[in-house]
Structure 1
């Protein structure tokens, strides 16, 4: 029989611990976010539909994005045992410089649309965390503004080759003059992808007020207050700002871009040059033979060609073909630090986060971006400790199995792409 008694008040108070309430609403909601999905849920509540859908959406049926995210879920880890992982080292070297973590912030366009701090928040958070920040040609903060926000950290610049080549050339010169050390020559955007959410929402730059946007704004007054009381939302590098995203891209991008353009930009750029948007082994080999400093396997976050290759699936083949001659990075679909660890194990030397960063930005501005980086960092460290690998260099393909869900049908074309 269990002997029962009334609890003594002193013993009862020992069992109770009251948490001090957090009066700052932003700190409260961000501290409650434990995953990037949690930040996404906050962002969706706080951001007008058109702006959120621009961030969230992809091209056509959005199959490429869904498949990319699924690919990271369809893995199996293989941990070691009895290794000392009381501390782990998450630092790495990429394209001639250091990063405290194996990921950086990817280039994103129209960033101040999501939240008014925009690229300044991203660059500042990246600098504080010791990771690189990448500014897009379609950014809403100038090259000089990003340099001011991240004066001692690593800044990279993502370049689109415009119909008016002199616009692109001037951007290259300005980025170099401001100490940006790596240039992403982007090759997957000859024309705009069909981003149907934007069309259905009537999304444009700058945002246009309609009955629908006004109704949607009623529960989100803070976004409109920020939008209406801060500097005009416009591209920092382009003079044309009116129209839908597709119209803007189609008017600015040049479908005649070629390897000759890559040669010209290389001759102008003093730092590392990386080609972003590579989607097969053959092109990877050709680029390495041409002497580029790196490649980023990317399908543009699923926002260009729907049903494009899944970068994470492509990664082992590209690393096998060129990994001993160049540094291969990857983006698209990363939502967890475990995704980053898996990519590194399969040969990626770096990863880039886009939507994950923007979810944090929409959830809480600079503090939200800091929270994104902290969540991913904690997940990277925890995954490495559970795999029992003390450094990134200790990660190997033996630690990860890619499980099969989409298996190619054998064909002459498929054989040629392997």
Structure 2
């Protein structure tokens, strides 16, 4: 199973689009280049073409109207904050190379371009370093303590920008990503975090299509400002998944350092490979800063290609979500009642999905729903506490080792010539 992907301007649509042998099509809808919608269209039996105008509904038109009003509005006075871009990776040199190629037109030649850091999180393959050292505009830094949030914290310490934009190594940026990121921070000087849209890069496999059927990483096509509280929403801001994804997030560096940085007991890889983005979104909002979701700050993500790997991903999402909740309730007991309410809602939601699957109304296979639920149960049963003990042992061992193994050591840093 494979779907095509097409970018379409809503005011310049072709009369028809050929399926060209694909099982369906993903339509990325734009208005004067701005992203205003996404539709996943199955190919009807025997059909050779689709009519794209059938998928330009009221929501798409309203999103386009919002973006046109934004384009006409003046930006607030004063300079936008300086930006550093951070890519944290372990061994995936080919993906980092692809991401750097998407950044190159904006970061290698543009005057006043943001600095770009690649944080090598204890790679065993030297090709990641080689990919960086061939680009004079990339700063290569080694972080020997294994764990995504060790690498993210290293990026915060190394960066010179007021804002650090974190990109996962399995994305490429949309053509207006940097421009939209700068505009979002200029429009929202009170923001502590800006997240953006995550679209599929390809839809070549059943697993990738299945993930998009559930909604993927998309959070809509209208900008949203989130404050510390939202009247009438009993789960706000505790259901932090609504705010965006760690694959495409930018944070005010001084604020996050003042909050203690990322929690290194989350996003450790196995056995707790998640939760760090939810945790930092929640903590930013609890600090009193605004969190902004802007769909124009968009990236394209390579979803998991195999069903077995996607099933594992569902497990880790449940695990990370529940570990974040368990951690937060322990850190601040005053939140327990509302987190308990969120957990009840989450398990009821999973039960509704199971019923929907049995009635053939939910596209997610039952084993994946069950994997997410099982991950949630494991996450609630002490996994965060066990992770904290593991991280403490790693830090203690590093402190006894060479200077280059201590968190924050500058001995492993290098820059391209």
TM-score, normalised by the number of residues in structure 2: 0.27
Higher normalized strand content (fraction of residues): 2
Larger Rg: 1
What's the TM-score once normalised by structure 1's chain length? 0.27
Greater relative contact order: 1 or 2 (C-alpha under 8 angstroms, separation 6 or more)?
Answer: 1
